[in-house]
Structure 1
Amino acid sequence: MTNASSATSPDDSLDPTADDAHSPDVIQEPRLWHKDGWMARVIKNEDDDGWAVEMIKDGEPEPALVGPWTMGRDKKNPKPLDTSAFNTLVKTASEVLRRHEQQLRALMHKRLGVRTDDGDIDVTLDIVPDEYEPYAVLTALDAFGEQIAQVRVAPNFKLTKARAESWAEGGFGRIE
């Protein structure tokens, strides 16, 4: 005996054109969407009577973005999430994360040029934010990008032009 429902409806998991809304990882509810590694959740705004939406990237403990959300027609409940809103929220939250990563990279990496008797060199400082023993690495590179020297320094080492020149003039030895 055959199951009539399986005989009349195709198995979406075998159909590459099946709507991904049926995927177990995709949730599309009025106040909660989860798709493509992102979750949008409409929440009560703690600051007033309105609503907010938070965007959380899968695996992250904190939202990447929290912002106001539009009221529905009844002026009491939130407007339901839809495809367009979700896509806009993903784009905005991704941009916030990208800018945060750029800012973090700028804090953790410094580079400056120095003239020496042997030619121009670049000196870089890269902070390694180890949870238990953070440190930084000071590196000298020649005009071709080849490493001349490298030393480990304190994570709070301040890279200045004067310190880089002094390090070069001292033969790239240990630096205090």
Structure 2
Amino acid sequence: MTDSSPAVSSADTSEDTFQDPGADSSEVIQDPRLWHKDGWMARVIKNEDDDGWAVEMIKDGEPEPALVGPWTMGRDKKNPKPLDTSAFNTLVKTASEVLRRHEQQLHAMLHKRVGLRTGDGDIDVTLDIVPDEYEPYAVLTALDAFGEQIAQVRVAPTFKLTKARAESWAEGGFGRID
């Protein structure tokens, strides 16, 4: 996942606070610059764009941070403010929301639905895109008011489902569609 956060480097974390969270994902770590708990790791890192600090939130098992954002300076105006329970919980909540929104957006891109009224009753036409790395495709399905499948055809992953195209497909007897 990409974001518009400032460029940061995780190489500048102090060696005395960094521990490999991959060693035991259930281990609770609560260091000033590194917290690991409940499947999340928060790590305070040096912000390469300025003299400040940033924090990255990484969900266990994920290669990229779910969230990277600015972090507050400590009282000495040189070192970062230490992580604490309240900050960690807020960061987990924010990072979880970012992931949830990303999943919703992805679902909306891959699954479309159009409702139709026909002489035979209400019909839902769905388009489900299968983003296979080598052979992506989509499946167009017609369902009756009870959710029973009336017809299903395979279409190109670039197929655009509109009400007009769904109506045309229904009027044509749910045959092949271009």
Q: Secondary structure at the match of 1:84?
A: helix
**How many residues end up aligned between the 2 structures?**
154
TM-score computed with the length of structure 2 as normaliser: 0.84
List structure 1 segments (4+ residues) > 4 angstroms apart after TM superposition: none
Distance 1:114 1:57 in 2: 41
How far 1:26 sits from its partner (Å)?
1.4
Q: In structure 2, how many angstroms separate the alpha carbons of the residues matched to 1:164 and 1:46?
A: 51
Larger RCO (CA within 8 A; separation ≥ 6): 2
Is the radius of gyration larger for structure 1 or structure 2?
A: 1
Q: Is the 8 A contact 2:54 2:71 kept in 1?
A: yes
Q: Structure 1: which amino acid aligns with 2:28?
A: V
Q: Describe the SS at the equivalent of 2:45.
A: strand
Q: Which residue in the other structure is 2:49 paired with?
A: 47
Q: Give % identity.
A: 93
Post-superposition Cα deviations, 1:59-84, rounded to whole Å, max 9, x if no partner, equal: 11111101110100100000011111
In 1: Cα distance, 2:28 partner to 2:120 partner: 60
TM-score for both structures, normalised by structure 1: 0.84
Q: Secondary structure at the match of 2:89?
A: helix
- Following the alignment from structure 1 to structure 2, what is the Cα–Cα distance between the partners of residues 46 and 125? 44
Residue 144 (structure 1) aligns with: 146
- Which residue pairs with 1:82 in the alignment? 84
Aligned partner of 1:120 in structure 2 is 122
What does 1:74-113 correspond to in 2, within 5 Å? 74-113=76-115
Aligned to 2:83, what secondary structure does the other structure show?
coil
What is aligned with 1:71? 73
Change (3 A) 1:173 1:38: same
Shift of 1:174: 1.6
Cα separation, partners in 2 of 1:41 and 1:48, compared to 1, 3 Å: same
Aligned to 2:131, which of 129, 146, 156? 129
Read off the aligned partner of 2:45 and give its amino acid letter. I
Query: Which residue is equivalent to 2:27?
Result: 25
Q: Deviations for 1:99-151, whole angstroms, at most 9, x for unmatched residues?
A: 11111111111101112221220100011111111111101011111111111
User: Which digits, 9 at most, give the CA deviation of each residue in 1:20-67, with x for residues without a partner?
Assistant: xxx961111111111111110000112111000000001111111011
2:41, 2:57 within 8 Å by CA — same for their partners in 1?
yes
State the match for 2:60 in structure 1. Answer: 58
Gaps of 5+ in 2: 1-24
User: Distance in 2 between the 1:34 and 1:133 partners?
Assistant: 39
